[in-house]
Structure 1
Amino acid sequence: MTYFEPQPAPAEVPERLTDPFAEGPPHPLARRAAEELKGFLRQGGLDLHALDAPGQGKMFGVLVVAAPDGRIGYLRGFSGMLDGRWRVDGFAPPLFDSIARDAFLPAGEAELRALGERHAELTEGAEPTALRASLAELTARHDAAMDGMRERHDANRGLRHDARQRLASREVSEEERQVALHSLAEESRADAAERQRLEVAHHQEREVLVSALRALDTERAGLEHLRAERSRQIWRRISESYVIPNARGESRTVGSLFAPEPPPGGAGDCAAPKLLAQAYRHGLRPLALAEFWWGASPLTGGRHAGAYYPACWSKCGGVLPYMLEGLSVELGSLPGAGPGPVEELRLLYEDAWLLVVDKPRGLLSLPGRHEPSRDSVLVRLQRRETKETGLQVVHALDPETSGLLLLARDPETHAALQRQFARREADRRFVAWLDGHVAGDQGVIELPLRPDREDRRRHLVDPLHGKRAVTGWRVAQRSGSRTRVSLWPHTWLPHQLRVHAAHPLGLGAPITGDRLYGGDDARLMLHAEAVTFIHPHTGERVELECHAPF
Structure 2
Amino acid sequence: MPPENHTFTTFPIASGGFCKRCNRGHLIDSGSALPYGRFLLDQLEKNKRLDLDIADDQSDFRFTLAPLYGPSRGQMFGVLICRRQDGVSGMLKAFSGQFNGVWEAPGWVPPLLDVALFQRISDPVDQMIKKLGKEIEGLETDSPQRQELTNHRRELSRNLMREIHDLYAVTNFRGETEKLSQIYRGSGGMPTGTGDCCAPKLLNHAARHQLIPLGLTEFYLGRENRSSTRHHGRFYPACSEKCQPIMGFMLCGLDREHG
- TM-score band (shorter)? 0.7 to 0.9
- Kindly tell me: are residues 214 and 32 of structure 1, through their superposed partners in 2, closer, same or farther at Cα, counting changes over 3 Å? closer
Q: Helix, strand or coil for the counterpart of 2:134?
A: helix
Question: What is the TM-score when the length of structure 1 is the normalising length?
Answer: 0.38
Q: How does 1:294-309 map to 2 (within 5 A)?
A: 294-309=221-236
Is 1:59 the counterpart of 2:63? The answer is: no
2:138 matched to which residue of 1?
121
Are 2:245 and 1:324 aligned? Answer: no
Q: CA RMSD in A?
A: 2.5
Partner Cα separation in structure 1 for residue 100 and residue 150 of structure 2: 30
Distance 2:175 2:116 in 1: 21
CA distances 1:474-498 after superposition (whole Å, capped 9, x unpaired): xxxxxxxxxxxxxxxxxxxxxxxxx
Question: Are the aligned partners of 1:97 and 1:243 in contact in 2 as well (CA < 8 Å)?
Answer: no
Q: Which residue number in structure 2 is paired with residue 79 of structure 1?
A: 96
Q: Deviations over 1:22-41 (max 9, x none)?
A: 9xxx6452111101211221
1:251 equivalent in alignment to 2:177: yes
**Counterparts in 2 of 1:257-268, with a 5 A limit?**
257-258=183-184, 261-268=188-195
1:420-442 alpha-carbon deviations (Å, 9 max, x no partner): xxxxxxxxxxxxxxxxxxxxxxx
Q: Deviations over 1:493-523 (max 9, x none)?
A: xxxxxxxxxxxxxxxxxxxxxxxxxxxxxxx
| Number of corresponding residues | 222
Residue 229 of structure 1: CA displacement? 1.4
**Secondary structure in 2 aligned to 1:298?**
coil
The CA distance in 2 between the partners of 1:82 and 1:232, in whole Å, is 24
Contact 2:15 2:244 in 1 (8 A): no
Instruction: Say whether the 8 Å CA contact 2:73–2:225 is kept in structure 1.
Output: yes
Kindly indicate whether structure 1 or structure 2 has the higher relative contact order, using CA contacts under 8 Å at least 6 residues apart. Answer: 2
Please, what TM-score do these two structures have when normalized by structure 2?
A: 0.78
Alignment of 1:189-268 (within 5 A): 213=140, 217-258=143-184, 261-268=188-195
Please state whether the residue corresponding to 1:292 is helix, strand or coil.
strand
Give the C-alpha shift of residue 55 in structure 1: 5.8
Cα pair 2:16 2:251 within 8 Å, conserved: no
Find the aligned partners of 1:102 and 1:27 in 2 and give their Cα distance.
34
The amino acid of 2:104's aligned partner reads R
**How far apart, CA to CA, are the structure 1 residues paired with 2:92 and 2:156?**
37
Residues 76-475 of structure 1 mapped to structure 2, 5 A cutoff: 76-122=93-139, 213=140, 217-258=143-184, 261-328=188-255
Can you list the C-alpha shifts for 1:140-183, whole angstroms capped at 9, x where unaligned? Answer: xxxxxxxxxxxxxxxxxxxxxxxxxxxxxxxxxxxxxxxxxxxx
Q: State the one-letter code of the partner of 1:121.
A: G
User: Which residue is 2:57 aligned to?
Assistant: none
> SS of the residue aligned with 2:105?
coil
Instruction: Determine whether 1:39 maps to 2:56.
Output: no
- Separation of aligned partners in 2, 1:244 and 1:322: 9
CA deviation map 1:505-547 (0-9, x unaligned): xxxxxxxxxxxxxxxxxxxxxxxxxxxxxxxxxxxxxxxxxxx
Give the letter for the 1:40 counterpart.
Q
1:20 maps to which residue?
15
Q: How much does 1:258 deviate?
A: 3.0
- Alpha-carbon offset, residue 21 of structure 1: 4.5
C-alpha distance in structure 1 between counterparts of 2:169 and 2:114, whole Å:
7
Deviation (angstroms), 1:219? 1.8
Does structure 1 retain, via aligned residues, the 8 Å contact 2:109–2:202?
yes
Structure 1, unaligned runs of 5 or more:
7-17, 123-212, 330-550
Matched AA of 2:162: R
- Secondary structure, in 3 states, of the residue corresponding to 1:110? helix
Contact 2:103 2:115 (8 Å CA) reproduced: no
CA distance in structure 2 between the partners assigned to 1:40 and 1:93 by the alignment: 20
- Report SS of the residue matched to 1:51: helix
Larger radius of gyration: 1
- What SS is found at the alignment partner of 1:318? helix
2:127 is paired with a residue whose SS is helix
